[in-house]
Amino acid sequence: MPPAYGGQDGAQPMHMPPEDGRKQLDLVFVQDCTGSQGSYISSATKNIEEICANIFESGKLLYPDDLRIGLVAYRDHPPQDHTYITKNFGFSSDTKRVHEHLKSLYASGGGDGPEAVTAGLHEALTMDWRPHASKMVVLIADAPPHGIGEYGDGFDEGSPDGHDPLNIARQMASRGITLFFVACEPALSGYSYATDFFQALTSITSGLMLPLTTANLLSHAIIGSVLENLDMERLIREVGQAVADRILGGNESVDDVARELHEKLLLRNESTKKVVFENIYRDSEEARHNVQVFQNAPNLAAARPLLKKVKGTRFTDKYLAVRHSMRTDYSYRKPAPVSASPPASPPSHRVASDFAAFSAPSASVFGAAVSSSPFAVAGSRAAFSGMRGGGGGADMDEDEDRDDDKDDEPGIGFREDSITLEQAKRIALQSAWRGTNPMA
């Protein structure tokens, strides 16, 4: 939670959109470019222009420069990898240029299991974000950063550049940058703590972790995440200052304020977009414990001694049954991480008083745009059908041609409905974080 909870009098004003009120979005992709990521790089390259067009139309952006796309590629630190640590292509509103940047990337190398995730996130944090824009980072990876306690980590003490990913996430949160993580499964869950770490990292910024088991769902995950986040941003700009004042200055809990916010938004029939996905992760006491440890620890060094090994598999019985029935070969070019206790199924790699801000007239939403967009027409069904396979690039085109009536692999969907309590909590937490930073 924000460090100033209960200790700061008042909150700094939050930045407002341009004077004409139009929306702007700065969106950065942070892409793992090590050996197992070929199909995800190919999917992003193939679909980036359609992704941008859908975001632009469904998000009701008005001018070309209202949407800027940034791209950061990363591999690993030497001697684990001798090609590059990061490549930062900066922001651009020219989707063809972004497409060319993606075309220049290819998957190779990587050395040990963990990769230079921290370096990639730091590059994203330090980009030239516009103060008035909605800010998002989408991280796409199947391996954790160095220093979270994985067996065989070549940099067990953490990233050689001295940066700490937990601190980076908190800086993102205070600057209004929301992190969404595309978890490339089943490889990620072969690590001991990676799943818990990324759950905590996205929670710090009030983002989401989206598990994908096939690369051809990537565009649906990105578009759905962006449109949901734009709705969250709209509400933060409306009620965020009042929420931050109550949490930071009034010493009220995030949960209490979020519950009241949720009730009042429901009373005014507030609807929001939401990306919907099936949870493939098995609930366990150890995993919940680890997420809390990462969320509360000042840094990775303080977190490591407190972590618990998860007993057995990370996945639900349902997902394991689907994998078994499909008899898919999940082999990757990068060796699977070696774990001291490998999973059973190894991978391939208080209600407060009323106040005016919550009772404001409902702001307009983008429902018409969503229902008429190509994503709504073609994407929603595609996101829940034909999801088989999920390993390397060789399977990707084949996956796209499979029978749409088959519904085996967990998918990504999208809907517009009444705001949820979980979304209200994310709004409250983001508002509190931004209240700690005068530049957020």
User: pLDDT above 90 covers what percent of the chain?
Assistant: 66
Answer yes or no: is pLDDT of 407 > 90: no
- What is the rounded distance in angstroms from the CA atom of residue 144 to the CA atom of residue 263? 38
The letter for the amino acid at 79 is P
Bridge partners of 275, per DSSP, are 414
* pLDDT reported for residue 216: 86
Domains defined along the chain, listed by start: 20-440 (3.40.50.410)
Angle, helices 38-58/218-244, rounded to nearest 10 degrees: 50
Return phi, psi of residue 383, to 5°.
Answer: -70, -15
Residues 352-366: pLDDT tens digits? 333 334 433 333 222
Return phi, psi of residue 7, to 5°.
Answer: -125, 5
Label each residue of the chain as H, E or C.
Answer: CCCCCCCCCCCCCCCCCCCCCCCCEEEEEEEECCHHHHHHHHHHHHHHHHHHHHHHHHCCCCCHHHEEEEEEEECCCCCCCCCCCEEEEEEECCHHHHHHHHHCCCCCCCCCCCECHHHHHHHHHCCCCCCCCEEEEEEEECCCECCCCCCCCCCCCCCCCCCCHHHHHHHHHHCCEEEEEEEECCCHHHCCCHHHHHHHHHHHCCCCEEEECCHHHHHHHHHHHHHHHHHHHHHHHHHHHHHHHHHHHCCCCHHHHHHHHHHHHHHCCCEEEEEEECCCECCCHHHHHHHHHHHHCCCHHHHHHHCCCCCCCCECHHHHHHHHHHCCCCCCCCCCCCCCCCCCCCCCCCCCCCCHHHHCCCCCCCHHHHHHCHHHHHHHHHHCCCCCCCCCHHHHHHHHCCCCCCCCCCCEEEEEEECCHHHHHHHHHHHHHHHCCCCC
**Tokens representing 124?**
């994203």
State mean pLDDT over 136-159.
Answer: 95
State mean pLDDT over 53-74.
Answer: 95
Of the ranges 41-45, 284-288, 313-317, 403-407, which one carries the lowest mean pLDDT score?
403-407
* pLDDT reported for residue 414: 85
Answer yes or no: is pLDDT of 1 > 80: no
The residue among 338 and 307 whose pLDDT is bigger is 307
Contact call for residues 125 and 168 (beta carbons, < 8 A):
yes
- What is the rounded distance in angstroms from the CA atom of residue 290 to the CA atom of residue 296? 10
Which residues does 145 contact at the CB level (< 8 Å), separation at least 6?
A: 114, 115, 116, 117, 118, 121, 158, 159, 165, 197
Q: Are strands 177-184 and 209-212 parallel, antiparallel or unpaired?
A: parallel
* pLDDT reported for residue 409: 63
* pLDDT reported for residue 161: 95
Residues 126-137: pLDDT tens digits? 999 999 999 999
* pLDDT reported for residue 438: 67
State mean pLDDT over 54-71.
Answer: 94
